[in-house]
Structure 1
């Protein structure tokens, strides 16, 4: 079932008028620090007092449709309401952010597709600290967390991979991903464009007692405990995921061998050097590796991949690994997030994570090198990476591509972490 957005009414326009002051204080708002133009493009009425506003936000490089679910209540906000959830007053009623509101959750579930779940919406708990979306933990009747609802704050026309990929993985028989239990799609008409159909959110099975993979690896490094055993199990999990992705989505040949990867690597170098000029000193080494990659006659077929796999995208629970967050970069075009790629790119992302875990865990010098070497060997053995020269070369190129990205990211956002990718570049370029 697809929910149809209707033309915004006067109350919707009043609510959007309030959002200019309210949205910049939200962590997930993508246009902080600039004066954005906000335009309502449609409203989904879930109940008499529950609305989902679809708001076009445009400013500089930002051009997205945001989802803002609200509840309209008469009089003052109910006792215990988080002041941050109060948007203002419109149509003579108080406007509340509805993401964790029981009325919104009940009406959302009533309009959702999927197998569903018996949850207690009155005991919902909003997860704090998220950057891109809003997640809400929903317990079952016994009070034990049963599902977690991800409200997508940026919505787009097309199939969202964070919902579509887990659905296909579960249907293919792979259980290494939290199973989707319910999902909602809506239809709206964006400014100057054809009708769009996209996902508003998904309720997925809650993973009990889960440990974040990166935090677990950092703790092990800090305690001087090897990670190779867990990395081996993680490698086997990722290999199982890739096999299931081929069953679900198929694969396609790469007719030009390593040429496409070589071009992408040089493009990455040009972008990185423009952002961080000191990286231009690495140009000869990167070019030499790209030339080697270009001479690879045949590469593995391209397939659907996770695309942003690192230790922060896996959970450890009940003695096994689970893979999460298939959405990719929310502001990236959908086509870029669903394009077939070399499966080894996911492996390269995890290999880079080991360098970060060792550094954040406090290891330096020889102990750091030994810890990461053990973790790398475990992952590659568990995944079953072919040790031939071509596979090693492709993996090295993919690691280098990721490390150049990291060097720019850290220079812009976390200068104290710049030595981590710089050390990676030294190792990869020899």
Structure 2
């Protein structure tokens, strides 16, 4: 790499010259990525947080790991998000890698080269697995593994097609490496919770085999404003390697197949409810639960109402239902004035059918414990009533049912009932016996979905709006 980035990962002032090469390209490439969080807002500039050459000098192609800070404007003021990029550098790009093209810098240290998303290059993707296998340290990047799982070399990598808020590499149908794209300081729940569940022997969640972090700020080299927090809370988690459940079926696809065939999904929903309760039980044993009293319940009610107000300002289609939806949160706040209290614990945080995999023997596994990426990391790590995960799954049944017309609510209602029954059989608590709490969380989830669909998938906006219309009328609750 030119002088802008040194082999040991240190980033002297001249590393900012990388922006001369990458900045103009990222202005157009970054907003097109599904995982870019700042859609709809202009990017004002970039700052390099860290940059590390992962291959020896003279290697062709070259592999550059970059944490870049994207500065944007918003109605409430300037914002900045840090993103993880793996940049391949070649003189020319072979046709097989054409879809990975980022661009051709016209100035700066990469002038004259071709840069691209290195995850699509098997030669460069293999570098990451080898670093994890060998517990490598390259500059500020630290690759770790548990030692409990053997990681063989030579596994052929491929990018998983279904991309959401992150990117995933599958190695030889043996491991899957989830790379976090939007990087925030603090303990990452998608590593923290599976590690905790592994200590409890919970077989419902694939245990982490390895992970890698950036010790940003350890030598005062980073320029990100979150560096001080990262130094206090530990390294920035960049990716987690877990076993790849090759023969497992995605819960979302299974549900759609059931709908297409006109068959029941209630046995699967019932088993999934049991699996969810088992994971909740293991989390409660691994990480101590807490009690939510009056102050916490009232604060929860206010935060839900505030999210409703924010979303109604951003999505005009939600405004006619805002008053009716607010009654769900007011009812929750009124419960806080009594003597009721709830137990809160660590939960999945973003549970839906797409986060569930069913093995050929019918056993369900839960994956992706990151929580809702749009919410702050500190909020995602807060203990919550377990009904939050239940509400997420109930909304997912509704989403699946609405993929076919004419829509019949019976399929979703049957799945909801079977799921809650299965959950109650393991946990001893039926979520339907707490209707105020369940309605509040389901309403909060639907409001979140409205904002997400309006920003990312406008064609899907009618799905959560239909739920909003139902939830805004408390006299017509679902079972």
Taking structure 1 as the reference length, what is the TM-score of the superposition? 0.86
Shift in Å at residue 376 of structure 1? Answer: 1.6
1:67 to 69, 80, 84: 84
Tell me whether 1:313 sits opposite 2:313 in the alignment: no
Kept after mapping to 2: 8 A contact 1:5/1:187:
no
- Cα–Cα, structure 1 residues 12 and 279, in superposed 2: closer, same or farther, change >3 Å? same
Distance 2:406 2:206 in 1: 33
- Cα–Cα, structure 1 residues 39 and 263, in superposed 2: closer, same or farther, change >3 Å? closer
2:64 to 48, 51, 72: 51
1:319-343 Cα deviation digits (max 9, x unpaired): 1211111112334321011111111
Tell me whether 1:118 sits opposite 2:138 in the alignment: no
Shift in Å at residue 270 of structure 1? Answer: 3.5
Distance 2:186 2:289 in 1: 21
Shift in Å at residue 215 of structure 1? Answer: 2.4
Tell me whether 1:221 sits opposite 2:255 in the alignment: no
Tell me whether 1:209 sits opposite 2:213 in the alignment: no
Shift in Å at residue 7 of structure 1? Answer: 0.6
Kept after mapping to 2: 8 A contact 1:226/1:371:
yes
Distance 1:120 1:394 in 2: 50
Tell me whether 1:279 sits opposite 2:299 in the alignment: no
Residue equivalent to 2:3:
none
Residue equivalent to 2:163:
130
Distance 2:101 2:45 in 1: 22
Shift in Å at residue 374 of structure 1? Answer: 1.8
Residue equivalent to 2:429:
386
In structure 2, runs of 5+ residues without a counterpart are 1-6, 57-61, 137-142, 217-221
Residue equivalent to 1:235:
273
Tell me whether 1:263 sits opposite 2:302 in the alignment: yes
Aligned counterparts, 1:18-417, within 5 A: 18-32=25-39, 34-48=42-56, 49-61=62-74, 62-73=79-90, 75-78=91-94, 80-89=96-105, 90=110, 93-109=113-129, 110=131, 111=136, 112-114=143-145, 115=147, 117-121=151-155, 123-139=156-172, 145-188=173-216, 189-192=222-225, 194-195=227-228, 196=230, 197-256=235-294, 258-274=297-313, 275=315, 276-282=318-324, 285-286=327-328, 289-290=331-332, 292-318=334-360, 319-362=362-405, 364=407, 368-384=408-424, 386-387=429-430, 391-409=434-452, 413=458, 414-417=460-463
Root-mean-square deviation over aligned CA pairs: 2.9
The count of corresponding residues between Structure 1 and Structure 2 is 418
Kept after mapping to 2: 8 A contact 1:232/1:382:
yes
1:16 to 14, 17, 22: 22
- Cα–Cα, structure 1 residues 105 and 419, in superposed 2: closer, same or farther, change >3 Å? closer
- Cα–Cα, structure 1 residues 226 and 150, in superposed 2: closer, same or farther, change >3 Å? same
Kept after mapping to 1: 8 A contact 2:421/2:430:
no
Comparing 338-347 and 395-404, the one that deviates more: 395-404
Shift in Å at residue 42 of structure 1? Answer: 1.2
Secondary structure of the residue that 1:43 maps to in structure 2?
strand
1:99-151 Cα deviation digits (max 9, x unpaired): 23344334323222113511535x31112341322211110xxxxx1011122
Residue equivalent to 1:142:
none
1:28-85 Cα deviation digits (max 9, x unpaired): 3334452331111211232223220111111114411111112334x42356333533
- Cα–Cα, structure 1 residues 12 and 287, in superposed 2: closer, same or farther, change >3 Å? closer
Kept after mapping to 2: 8 A contact 1:57/1:66:
yes
Distance 1:283 1:415 in 2: 17
Secondary structure of the residue that 2:342 maps to in structure 1?
coil
1:336-391 Cα deviation digits (max 9, x unpaired): 11111111110111112222222213353xxx333223212211111116359862
Secondary structure of the residue that 2:120 maps to in structure 1?
coil
- Cα–Cα, structure 1 residues 125 and 264, in superposed 2: closer, same or farther, change >3 Å? same
Kept after mapping to 2: 8 A contact 1:222/1:362:
no
Secondary structure of the residue that 2:68 maps to in structure 1?
strand
Distance 2:461 2:431 in 1: 37
In structure 1, runs of 5+ residues without a counterpart are 140-144
